[in-house]
Amino acid sequence: MSPSIQHQAAAHRFVTQVEGHQAELVYARQQSQLVIEHTGVPAAIAGRGIAGELVKAALEFARSSALKVVPACSYAATYIQRHPQYRDLLAAGY
């Protein structure tokens, strides 16, 4: 079952709560780009695909907002490499 992910646009992040622990993806907006800066999942809930769900939510947001993505977070970069359906979202040079 996928976690419920909330987009907190004013805080530039996507978050989810699982078993009382909060996981997040933090991003920045730079003109027409969404820069994924950090994905964090507490150890207590790690290994369940939560980081992937957060990245997917951010990528879907970027697509629906016509934004290019800069994967400054290594997890996000790896996720995009493993999911070619999102490679078209990469900003030039990534």
Per-residue pLDDT, 1: 56
Per-residue pLDDT, 77: 97
Domains and CATH numbers, the chain: 6-89 (3.40.630.30)
At 81, which helix (H) or strand (E)? helix 74-82
Write down the pTM of the prediction. 0.95
- The Cα–Cα gap between 17 and 51 comes to 12
Q: Tell me: the pLDDT tens digits for 32-77?
A: 999 999 999 999 999 999 999 999 999 999 999 999 999 999 999 9
Burial of 38 (0-12, 13-18, 19+ CB in 10 A): middle
CB half-sphere exposure, 84, CA atoms < 13 A: 0
Per-residue pLDDT, 3: 78
